[in-house]
């Protein structure tokens, strides 16, 4: 009844068609993680990043490494 919460499933993404990106606001510092289509430039937001734990959860859930992440301002 009061056990651990289930971990969300791992969701693989299309590595050939989309790039993992963290968008940071210059004014407020708000960060959102998602994937960007390099051809059209369209960004699809998946998660709000409030702390390091949220970032680690995004990396785990979508099987992305920190080296693959790009930052946009």
Q: Quick: pLDDT tens for 15-72.
A: 778 899 999 999 998 999 999 999 999 999 999 999 999 999 999 998 999 999 999 9
| Assigned domain for 3 exists | no
Count how many domains the chain has. 1
- Rounded to two decimals, the pTM is 0.79
| Assigned domain for 42 exists | yes
- Residues 64 and 16: their CA atoms lie apart, in Å, by 13
The residue with greater pLDDT, 11 or 68, is 68
User: The domain containing residue 33 runs over which residues?
Assistant: 19-72
- The answer to whether the Cα torsion of 36, 42, 45, 46 is positive or negative is negative
| Assigned domain for 35 exists | yes
């Amino acid at each position: 009844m009061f056990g651990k919460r289930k971990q969300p499933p791992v969701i693989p993404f299309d590595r050939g068609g989309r790039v993992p990106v963290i968008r940071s606001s210059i004014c407020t510092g708000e960060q959102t993680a998602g994937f960007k289509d390099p051809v059209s430039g369209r960004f699809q937001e998946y998660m709000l990043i409030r702390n390091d734990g949220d970032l680690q959860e995004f990396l785990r859930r979508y099987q992305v490494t920190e080296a693959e992440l790009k930052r946009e301002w």
